[in-house]
Each structure stands twice: as C-alpha cells, then as structure tokens.
Amino acid sequence: MAFVTNTELLAKAEKEGYAAGAFNTNNLEITLSIVEAAVAERSPVIIAVSPGAMEYAGVAYLAAIAKVASESVDIPVSLHLDHGTSMEHVEACIEHGFSSVMIDGSKLPYEENVSLTRQVVELGRKKGVSVEGELGRLVGVEDSVSVSEREASMTDPTQAAEFVERTGVDALAVAIGNVHGWYKGRPDLDFDRLREIKSKVGTFLVLHGASGIPDDMIREACSIGVDKINIDTEVRDAFRQAVARFVSENPDVIDPRKILMPARDAMREVVARKMRLFGSAGKT
C-alpha cells in the first residue's frame, strides 16, 4: 500500500481506543523488523525518521526502503519525520514522499514555536501531509531538575489548547514526566495532567520516550486517550544485545547477514510486543 497519513491512522486509533506505535529507523534492518512485526501482528504502523537518521543514512535511502516495504504489504504504513527542527527538514521529507512530519519547536520560546509550527501546518495542508507539534520539554534522564523545574517543563493544558488552536496541528506531543532514553526507576508520569490536556485539546495526543515505561502505565496512557506512542531505545537495546551475544558466541563468523539476522529477530519481537500492548495488533 502507498503511505497513509498519521491523521488517517490516528483517527482510527482514537475511535477504536488504541494507540499506534511509531518506531524509529536508521537502516534497512530496522525498517524490515518494524514492517515484518506489523504484518505479523496485523497492525498499522508509523515508521519514524529523525534528523539524525537522515544524516546517518540519507533521507532518500530511508524513504526508498520504507516505500518498498510499504508497497509490499497490505497494512497501513505511515512514513513520519520525528523531531524535525527546521523547514529544511520538513521540506526534504515532503519531497521524498513522507506522509507525516513532526516539527519540534519545544525548545523555542512559545511564540516562536507557534510561528514555526503554523508555517509547517500551512505547508502540510498544501501537500496533504499531517503535522505533529510539541509543547513542553522532555527533560533528559541525566538532567538533575528540581520539582519546580520539572513542573515548569511539563505541558500546560490551557496553553496546549491555545497552541493547537493557533497552529492547527493534527497531533500534539506532550511532556508529562516522560523522557527519552531509559528511566531511572519507575517513571513518574503526571496522568492527571494528561487527563486535563485530553479534556481541553481536540487533537491527537502523542507520548514520546515510551521505552522503559511499564506496561500498566502504557495501558493507562492509552485509556486516557494517547493515540500515538514513540519507541526507539528498546529497539536499539534489542539490536545491541543480539549483535553482542552473536559475536561473542560466534567469534569466527564475519558474514554481516549472519550477524544481523538475530538482531532483526530481536527487534521484530520488541516491536510486535509493543503493538500488542498498545492495542493496535489485529486492527487492520
């Protein structure tokens, strides 16, 4: 199938009460694992490409790989720019056939975030591409922040409603105590804040930094109404562990295909498990 937009994928997720997974790719092997898991689980899926991935592999290669994967299967696949920070990122992705983009102005002053996000939405509307924005900052797991700094970095529900109104974004990434990378101990997510955001904001909600969030908390986020959940670190970890184990157990094997196959299997299993957890399995 040709790529579908995030809006199309998330409208069904919102209506049927599950979340779609967005999984980051950087190469052929990760993309294959993501799409194979989606096929095995009969799940819609979002393939996410960050500016770092674009720098590593080239947006043309990543888009071409995802396109072949999507056209070879009969499940809905979206190709999405993750954490784009400039019009250049957005334009490059649209030019290469992405169906969705994220513009992350969360580190900018509020008015600049509104203005950049609105520009991307205007372009997205012209090109038929969905747009995700972000309000509130994900504090790094290594950052030592005081309670008041943590509060201040989180998405303000009233401001979120205004942000969505003024920008017209299709989806909003929220900061409720979630972080990128591994958590130290059990995550401290502010579900009351998420409920308030949900009640005030009439657009799809996105939870970034979902690796390492325990299953019960993910279920709660889905039941409150999160529509899209981003996973990267757990897939990276599965890759690293599988390669490390294979190389240590088979020191004489030099064939990259033999080294990478266990990693593909391990990544596919992580993605499939998340699809079952998010409730998107069996939804196509």
User: Does 187 sit near ligand 13P (CB under 6 A)?
Assistant: no
Tokens (6 digits) for 22: 């967005």
Select from Zn ion, ligand G3H, ligand 13P, none the partner in contact with residue 231, using the beta carbon and a kind-dependent cut-off of 5 to 8 Å: ligand 13P
Residue closer to ligand 13P, measured from CB, 39 or 138: 138
d(CA 10, CA 170): 10
> Which residues have a Cβ under 8 Å from the Cβ of 234 and sit 6 or more positions away?
211, 212, 270, 274
Tokens (6 digits) for 281: 């399995």
For 231, left (φ over 0), alpha (ψ -120 to 50), or beta? Answer: beta
Interior angle at CA 127, CA 1 and CA 167, nearest 5:
120
Site for ligand G3H in 72-101 (CB under 6 A): 82-83
CB of 183 to ligand 13P, least distance (A): 9
CB of 207 to Zn ion, least distance (A): 9
Residue closer to ligand G3H, measured from CB, 161 or 271: 271
d(CA 264, CA 37): 10
User: Does 20 sit near ligand G3H (CB under 6 A)?
Assistant: no
CB of 83 to ligand G3H, least distance (A): 5
CB of 237 to ligand G3H, least distance (A): 12
Of 34-42, 186-194, 225-233, 240-248, the segment contacting ligand 13P by CB under 6 A is: 225-233
Query: Among this protein's residues, is 74 annotated catalytic?
Result: no
Select from ligand 13P, ligand G3H, Zn ion, none the partner in contact with residue 210, using the beta carbon and a kind-dependent cut-off of 5 to 8 Å: ligand 13P
> Which residues have a Cβ under 8 Å from the Cβ of 178 and sit 6 or more positions away?
138, 187, 189, 207, 208, 209, 210, 213
Q: Of the candidates 80, 118, 193, 208, which one interacts with Zn ion according to CB under 5 A? A: 208
d(CA 143, CA 182): 13
- How does 132-152 read in b/e, with b if 16+ C-beta sit within 10 Å? bbbbbbbbeeeeeeeeeeeee
At residue 4, φ and ψ (nearest 5 deg) are -105, 160
x/- mask, ligand G3H, residues 163-192, rule CB under 6 A, reads: -----------------x------------
Contact residues for ligand 13P, defined by CB under 6 A: 24, 82-83, 180-181, 208-211, 230-233
Contact residues for Zn ion, defined by CB under 5 A: 208, 230
Query: Which residues are marked as active site?
Result: 82
Contact residues for ligand G3H, defined by CB under 6 A: 24, 50, 52-53, 82-83, 180, 232
